[in-house]
């Protein structure tokens, strides 16, 4: 494996993590509260389009899905950018991928929940109930952060 294959690993990490995240979000909201998956996607779109997106149709839901995967790509790209430039991060990812992934997922969850969403057009929200907070944190740690770190580990395997 050469460092030239890193774009493939970046795409794989973003797609896998993004798919796990949106599958969790739509499933959890449907089974917990009966919220339709399209409504969740419109909520994602509302981060950029404002609350009017909640009244949109299928196209708005598709835009939300696009924004969701864009966010997953950006989150993965940040990890890859730092790992490509900081040998200590690369070495930590190589030596301790589980802990690195869980830590990265936790950071992503906290930043998205308490920084990105409040600064978006969604605006500040009340603290989520414990079941939402705990499940969201676990999903971000195990199904988002960990796969992204594993992808970065593979992408930079030949780098010291």
Angle at the Cα of 19 (from 14 to 21), degrees rounded to 5? 95
Question: Is the pLDDT confidence value at 83 over 80?
Answer: yes
Residue 36, both tokens:
């339709």
pLDDT digits (tens, 9 = 90+) for 111-137: 999 999 999 999 999 988 999 999 999
Residue 1 has a pLDDT of 43
Residue spans of alpha helices (H) in the chain: 6-33, 37-49, 58-85, 87-95, 97-111, 117-119, 130-139, 146-155
pLDDT bin (cut points 50, 70, 90) of residue 3 is low
With a cut of 50, say whether residue 6 has pLDDT above it.
yes
Q: What is the pLDDT of residue 5?
A: 86
Chain Cα centroid distance, residue 127: 19
Mean pLDDT for the chain overall: 95
Question: For the whole model, what pTM was predicted?
Answer: 0.94
How far is C-alpha 29 from the geometric centre of its chain's CA atoms? 17
Question: Exposed, middle or buried: residue 55 (CB in 10 Å: 0-12, 13-18, 19+)?
Answer: exposed
Of 112, 98, 95, 113, nearest to 145 (Cα)? 98
pLDDT of residue 150 exceeding 50, the answer is: yes
DSSP 8-state assignment for residue 50: -
């Amino acid at each position: 494996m050469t460092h030239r294959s890193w774009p493939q690993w970046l795409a794989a990490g973003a797609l896998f993590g993004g798919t796990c995240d949106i599958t969790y979000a739509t499933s959890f909201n449907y089974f917990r509260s009966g919220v339709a998956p399209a409504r969740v996607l419109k909520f994602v779109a509302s981060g950029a389009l404002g609350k009017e997106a909640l009244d949109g149709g299928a196209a708005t839901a598709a835009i939300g899905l696009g924004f969701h995967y864009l966010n997953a790509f950006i989150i993965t790209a940040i990890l890859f950018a730092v790992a490509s430039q900081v040998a200590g991060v690369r070495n930590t990812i190589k030596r301790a991928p589980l802990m690195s992934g869980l830590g990265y997922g936790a950071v992503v969850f906290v930043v998205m929940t308490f920084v990105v969403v409040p600064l978006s057009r969604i605006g500040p929200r009340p603290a989520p109930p414990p079941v939402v907070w705990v499940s969201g944190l676990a999903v971000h740690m195990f199904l988002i952060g960990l796969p992204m770190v594993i992808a970065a580990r593979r992408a930079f395997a030949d780098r010291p």
